[in-house]
Chains A and B, each alone.
Chain A
Amino acid sequence: GEDVEQSLFLSVREGDSSVINCTYTDSSSTYLYWYKQEPGAGLQLLTYIFSNMDMKQDQRLTVLLNKKDKHLSLRIADTQTGDSAIYFCAETFNAGNNRKLIWGLGTSLAVNP
């Protein structure tokens, strides 16, 4: 069935770039999303990309999409301690039915000073 996979943990030093990776299986996905969850809080939408795009940049965030390999990445430039959180990747489930998402388990990003 459809699945989204992410590595569970990532540790970086403050000021370095962070790259969080995600692989998905549903080749008919139309949108792919990145969300951030701080401890005890809800999920905050960071950015999303349409499947006909290869890249999207928004300030410190860069999303790269490799459709051939079904690989999505989120790069955070100049990572700060405030970026410490869990980052979720999600894809739409079934082309044309955008009401449901398939979620990864999240990557816990630790930023060390």
Chain B
Amino acid sequence: SQTIHQWPATLVQPVGSPLSLECTVEGTSNPNLYWYRQAAGRGLQLLFYSVGIGQISSEVPQNLSASRPQDRQFILSSKKLLLSDSGFYLCAWSPGTGSGEPQHFGDGTRLSIL
């Protein structure tokens, strides 16, 4: 069966520091991968998605970037964090067939910027 791992679970970082959040998927090949941010107001905002190694689509202009160095690894990064980067970050995957199979989520990373 497929599993998705996201870490760390919580992170407290000072303003201006770098960020690296990692997500890996097991038990499947060539998945679509997604990074979301969930602000306190509950809505889910799609940040990035990837349909293959090195292929990243950015949904909103921001202080963050994403990379996919391996088929089942998705990394969310920032060179200098802003206060507005605080939030709950969720990684998700779906089968790469484009058939409408649902997205499956990791447990999330709670990021607090001080």
Contact = CB atoms under 8 A, between A and B. Distances in A.
Contacts of B107: 41-42
Interface stretch (B41-49, B60-68, B73-81): B41-49
A99 B49 contact: yes
A105 B43 contact: yes
Interface string A44-62: 1100101000000000000
Nearest to A33: B102
B82 to A, nearest CB: 23
B86 interface: no
Contacts of A43: 44, 90, 92, 105
B100 interface: yes
Nearest to A46: B102
A98 B102 CA distance: 9
Contacts, number: 52
Contacts of B27: none
Classify chain B: how many residues form its interface, as a range: 20 to 34
A99 B32 CA distance: 7
Given A41-B108, A99-B49, A105 B102 contact: no
B94 interface: yes
A98 B105 contact: no
Q: Which of B98, B99, B100, B106 has the most C-beta atoms of chain A within 10 angstroms of its own C-beta? A: B100
Interface of A: 30-31, 33, 35, 40-45, 48, 50, 86, 88, 92, 96-101, 103, 105-106
11 contacts: A30-B100, A31-B102, A42-B6, A42-B108, A43-B90, A45-B102, A99-B49, A99-B51, A100-B49, A105-B43, A106-B43
Top 6 closest pairs, chain A to chain B, by CB: A42-B105, A31-B100, A98-B100, A43-B105, A103-B44, A42-B107
Interface of B: 6, 32, 41-44, 46, 49, 51, 90, 92, 94, 98-108, 110
Given A40-B110, A45-B103, 17 more contacts: A30-B100, A31-B102, A40-B108, A41-B107, A42-B106, A44-B105, A45-B104, A86-B42, A88-B44, A98-B94, A98-B98, A98-B99, A98-B100, A99-B51, A105-B41, A105-B42, A105-B43
